[in-house]
């Protein structure tokens, strides 16, 4: 069974296969994927080194997310 989560009233498969978090300059491997969906990396990543969320993230585009720095500030729904 695939892991799913309701995010902003959408059922989304986790991890998103198009997630680009590992290519982000701020990324630290916290055993988490799709930070914009999971809201679980806030305790892991502490320092911003740049953000790709609004300029190149296909997950953010696909789900019409508006925020940035999900890995530090929390999911789009939480912000």
**pLDDT per position as a tens digit, 55-79:** 888 888 888 888 888 888 888 888 8
What 8-state DSSP symbol labels residue 44?
T
**pLDDT per position as a tens digit, 20-58:** 888 888 888 776 667 777 766 666 788 889 988 888 888
Q: What is the DSSP annotation of 20-48?
A: -GGGSTT----S---HHHH---TTT----
């Amino acid at each position: 069974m695939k892991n799913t989560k309701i995010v902003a009233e959408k059922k989304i498969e986790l991890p998103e296969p198009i997630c680009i978090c590992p290519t982000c300059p701020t990324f630290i491997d916290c055993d988490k994927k799709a930070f914009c969906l999971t809201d679980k990396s806030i305790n892991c990543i502490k320092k911003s080194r740049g953000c790709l969320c609004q300029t190149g993230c296909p997950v953010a585009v696909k789900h019409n997310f508006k925020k940035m720095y999900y890995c530090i500030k929390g999911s789009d729904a939480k912000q």
